[in-house]
Structure 1
Amino acid sequence: MNEISSPPETSAPRRLPLLVFAWLWVAAPFAYGLDRLIVNLLKLFQ
């Protein structure tokens, strides 16, 4: 009687570029900050 409708399969590939962009938007500054943190920690303990 009551069936849960799933989203159409064609909507997934359309969102892929947005997902990649969003992950890069977050991951790139995080990776840079982590790099700077490691560099500064190495300077601190040398």
Structure 2
Amino acid sequence: MNPQPNSPTPPAAEPGVGGSVVLAWLVVGLPLAWGVSQTFIKALALFK
């Protein structure tokens, strides 16, 4: 007799979800990367 696992198996990913995840990361990541780069550039000016 095989015991049943306590947690159910995760559902399979729906088709097209990967593109939505990539788009969401770009929408958040690009402005974040720009802001970090601008902060770094302005911080460098303090050490001149």
TM > 0.5 between the two?
yes
Unaligned runs of 5+ in 2: 1-6
Aligned length: 44
State which of 19, 24, 27 in structure 1 corresponds to 2:29.
Answer: 27
State which of 4, 10, 33 in structure 1 corresponds to 2:8.
Answer: 4
Unaligned runs of 5+ in 1: none
Measure, in 2, the Cα distance between the counterparts of 1:33 and 1:21. Answer: 19
Cα RMSD, aligned residues only: 2.2
Runs of 4 or more consecutive aligned structure 1 residues displaced over 6 Å after TM superposition: none
Identity rate of aligned residues, in percent? Answer: 31
